[in-house]
Amino acid sequence: MARCDVCFHHCDIPEGQRGFCGARTCKDGKVVAGNYGRITALALDPIEKKPLRRFHPDSMVLSVGSYGCNLRCPFCQNHGISWSAEAMACADNAEILTPEALAEMAVRLKSRGNLGLAFTYNEPLVGWEFVRDTARLTREAGLLNVLVTNGTAELKILEHIAPFIDAMNIDLKGFTERYYTNVLGGSLEMVKAFIEQAVQQCHVELTTLIVPGENDSEDEIRALSHWVAGLKDGRSIPLHISRFFPRFHMQDRPATGVRQVCRLADVARETLRYVYTGNC
């Protein structure tokens, strides 16, 4: 058995078993990324889909995902490769790509406007070793690297990958510990600490998905945006206010109203310069 040090769960993983995220495993008494190089999704996407609005707009980026996640968002749009039973069933059958092969693919796609790699779809940090190894190679090839993450990781994990990451979109899913703990199975304080450090390292944009009855009050968005404004260059950090649709285990409520999303975006604009609406 060995203890994982990636996030606040600090799973004690028996030999040959998986941790909470489904991606990290114990092998020969050490915790390793069982999803290393196991690719479940691969697509050339517009950079705006990450979403990044103020980082090389109108570019394309090769987006890659594996399996596993250390949160339990009941509305997960990528549950098929994150933490559902389906995700764990397909884990061992995922296509294997080496960092070298993926970096070479990214280079070949430069002719189609590709600027580099985006690690996305599932939670990339539960397999941070693959992110580090691949991002190093794409950087050496003159390309850029993007990380799309929930920010639920210890700061030493960020230290491992930060030298090779050019931009991040980080979910700041709400601004109460109740929501993070009871609904998402996460830690608001860990995410805040991750964001505080990440903005020192690279271009950062944030995303908040507005879930009816959970994190949709003006007071919460006002508190969230005031906190963001207090970060390094905080007033210029882009915030994406995104619309919820019923998905996965959370189909007990309607989609967020478009007018509500726009109103909350206006609340955030009281403090922040760059606020965008999504899924509207």
How far apart are alpha carbons 251 and 265 in whole angstroms? 24
How far apart are alpha carbons 227 and 271 in whole angstroms? 10
Q: Which helix (H) or strand (E) holds 267?
A: helix 258-269
pLDDT number for residue 234: 97
Decide which of 120 and 79 is more confident: 120
pLDDT number for residue 80: 86
Residue 104, token pair as written in the block: 């070479």
Over the Cα atoms of the chain, what is R_g? 18
Percent of the chain at pLDDT exceeding 90? 94
How far apart are alpha carbons 79 and 223 in whole angstroms? 29
Query: Are 67 and 58 in contact, with CB atoms under 8 Å apart?
Result: no
Nearest to 274 by CA among 244, 233, 217: 233
C-alpha neighbours within 13 Å on the C-beta side of residue 16: 0
In tens, the pLDDT along 96-150 reads 999 999 999 999 999 999 999 999 999 999 999 999 999 999 999 999 999 999 9
pLDDT number for residue 61: 98
The values of phi and psi at residue 219, to 5°, are -60, -40
Helix, strand or coil, per DSSP, at residue 233: coil
pLDDT number for residue 88: 78
CB atoms within 10 A of CB 189: 11
Average pLDDT value over all residues in the chain: 96
Percent of the chain at pLDDT exceeding 70? 100
Tell me: pLDDT of 154 over 90: yes
Tell me: pLDDT of 47 over 90: yes
Tell me: pLDDT of 81 over 90: no
The amino acid that residue 138 corresponds to is: T
Tell me: pLDDT of 90 over 90: no
In tens, the pLDDT along 54-77 reads 999 999 999 999 999 999 999 999
Tell me: pLDDT of 240 over 80: yes
The values of phi and psi at residue 252, to 5°, are -95, 10
The β-bridge relationship of strands 41-46 and 60-65 is antiparallel
Using the CB atoms, write b or e for 30-55: b if 16+ within 10 Å. ebbbbbebbbbbeeeeebbebbbeeb
* Domain spans, the chain: 2-278
Local confidence band at 85 (pLDDT 50, 70, 90 cut-offs): confident
Close Cβ partners of 217 (under 8 Å, ≥ 6 residues apart): none
How far apart are alpha carbons 149 and 202 in whole angstroms? 14
Nearest to 252 by CA among 75, 46, 6: 75
The values of phi and psi at residue 269, to 5°, are -70, -15
Task: Tell me the whole-structure pTM to 2 decimals.
Answer: 0.97
How far apart are alpha carbons 165 and 53 in whole angstroms? 17
How far apart are alpha carbons 17 and 143 in whole angstroms? 36
Local confidence band at 187 (pLDDT 50, 70, 90 cut-offs): very high
Fold exhibited by the domain 2-278: TIM Barrel (3.20.20)
pLDDT number for residue 91: 74
